[in-house]
A and B are shown apart, each in its own frame.
Chain A
Amino acid sequence: MSFKVLKPGLLSTLQDLGRQGFQHLGITEGGPMDEHAFRWANALLNNPVNACAIEVTYGGLELVASQPTMIAITGGDLGASLNGEPLLNWSTHAVKAGDKIVFRHPVSGLRSYLSVADGFAVKPVLGSCSTVLRETLGGLNGDGAPIKAGDELRYSPRLPCETRTVPLSDIPNYREDLELGVIPGYQFELFSSLERRRFFGHQYEVTNNIDRMGYRLKGAKITAEQTGIISEGIALGAIQIPADGQPIILMRDRQTIGGYPKIGTLTALDVGQLSQRSPGATVRFCIRDISYAQAQRHVFDRHLKHLKLADINQ
């Protein structure tokens, strides 16, 4: 009753929605980089929202199933196949004993989510199975290690059932230029109107320095009136502007506190879209009203809940 890992790929980790209630001890949140894709992966299988799934970064993961079950694949298209046949992304699939699942390399996006019916059976650490390498926390053995060859990822067997697919209107195009909504806050007032105009009026490029902690961008240099501030809590999606004027977006495995000025914060859903962009992709920022951002979030949550009940056979 497990997937045996033949090859782990570049970075494949077990993730649920993250570790809540421990940030005051310096323990990061963790969780899926792309929450939109992660939630769909579980919703397609009627899983609990917090069920543990695999985040495949860049591909290279190879698994063999020991028992029949249903899986779902969402997020970046990493050229997934089942026994050599291409697997439809954003969809569920029946898996038989002995079936081999392979993720090759990115076609579009960077991170794919593989969920299994009822989620992977992983013992949580501090309330979560999310893997944080830096903190040696979570994952299969609770020690923060990513998935490695020989691991057995356990699940409960499930007979095949109808295939379900995410509606086309909910499938993002990760190749599109991205516009990211910024909720002004934190040290927004430390940026003059000229600096703000520069920030919101220019394109930025995703650099090679991208990981689960942060995304470094490059483009027009932004200067705050102060280069350092008193260290304070860093929210998901916070946009730090260090002394070199190049924005850093803080992602799931960010440090919990920090002392760089921040011009505002992206929404969790926009963080997810950014996390599918590779070096060289361009992004733009626009102002996002807090009420609009919260409404957008409620719409997404209700949409998922509603579709779960309605069964979205195609």
Chain B
Amino acid sequence: MIRLEPAGERAAILYLGSVISEQSAARVSAAVELLQDSFGSALIDIVPSYTSILLTYDINHYNYFSFKHAVCSALSELAENPMSRSPSRIVEVPVYYGEEVALDLAEVARSTGLSGDEVIRLHSQQHYNVYAIGFAPGFAYLGLTPKELRVDRKKTPRLKVPCGSVAIADNQTAIYPSVTPGGWQIIGRTPMSLIDWQSESVSPFTVGDAVRFRAVDKETFLAQGGCLDEF
């Protein structure tokens, strides 16, 4: 399935699936690559998400209909079920799961019926795909979490989530790159900086990459620049 819809006079949204799945994610990643290769600088902004890609294009080069035609030809090779390609990169993220920073670990343990250690083991035993980035700069939606770890969002969101907090909600996990409001359940904190305005890439990962969490102890967390304060 490929469907393109106008999104204003200089953008269009491309739908590549209708459910959140590894298959949709693989199609989105494959399509981003094909579109970048064939359009180059005529594509001004590309916002991939779970099942769609928002494309801002140069209307001095294309009108909507010629753009639609060009997108379809660029994607003629796109498989319905692309090989779940090995992710372009696996980014390892150190996480301290200690109680000073794992603000909701006890609550997560209670609602899942797991021990704190089991939550940590499950969370850090697999790699996650970056499905989408948004909400705030560098905020990556990572999935899917193991079934045993699925919890609801907090009933009352926090007004301020500490920077670097690692959190879970529904079937996904994420890291808060900056202090923002947030309703996800916090189970740890990374010392890694997730936003660097001075670097070309800004964020350590992009949609299509994979992330793996590695549990570290308090000393390592602090030695890597981690901060135990709330803010």
Residues of A at the B interface (CB closer than 8 Å) are 20-27, 29, 125-126, 135, 137, 142, 183-186, 188, 230-238, 255-258, 265-268, 290-291, 293-294, 296-298
A257 partner, pick from B7, B44, B135, B138, beta carbons under 8 A: B135
Closest beta carbon of chain B to A249's beta carbon, Å: 11
Smallest beta-carbon distance B156→chain A, Å: 18
Residues of B within 8 A of A (CB): 5-13, 18-20, 44-54, 56, 59, 63-65, 132-139, 141, 197, 202-203, 206-207
Q: A230: which B residues are within 8 A, CB to CB?
A: 18-20, 49-52
Q: From known contacts A24-B45, A185-B6, infer whether A231 and B11 are also in contact, taking CB-CB under 8 Å.
A: no
Residue numbers in A under 8 Å from B20 (CB-CB): 230
B13–A232 CB distance below 8 A: yes
Q: A233-B49, A233-B52, A298-B59 given as contacts; is B133 within 8 A of A26 (CB)?
A: yes
11 A-B pairs with CB atoms under 8 Å apart are A22-B202, A25-B138, A135-B136, A183-B9, A185-B5, A188-B5, A231-B50, A235-B11, A257-B47, A257-B132, A257-B134
Q: A235, B54: Cβ atoms under 8 Å?
A: yes
Q: Which residue of A lies closest to B68 (CB)?
A: A290
- Asked if A233 and B13 sit within 8 Å, CB to CB, the answer is yes
Cross-chain contact A256 with B8 (CB below 8 angstroms) = no
Interface centre among B7, B49, B59, B203 (most CB of A within 10 A): B7
Complex contact B46–A24 (CB within 8 A): yes
Q: Complex: how many Å from CA A311 to CA B117?
A: 73
Which of B13, B19, B48, B135 has the most chain A CB atoms closer than 10 A to its own CB? B13
B residues less than 8 Å from A25 (CB atoms):
133, 137-138, 202-203, 206
Min CB distance B163 to A, Å, is: 12
Q: Which residues of A contact B63 (CB under 8 A)?
A: 291, 294
Q: Inside 8 A of B49's CB, which chain A residues have their CB?
A: 230-233, 257
Least CB separation from A181: chain B residue: B9
Q: A233 — which chain B residues lie within 8 A by C-beta?
A: 7, 13, 47-49, 52-54
Q: Which chain B residues border A294 with CB–CB below 8 Å?
A: 9-10, 59, 63-64
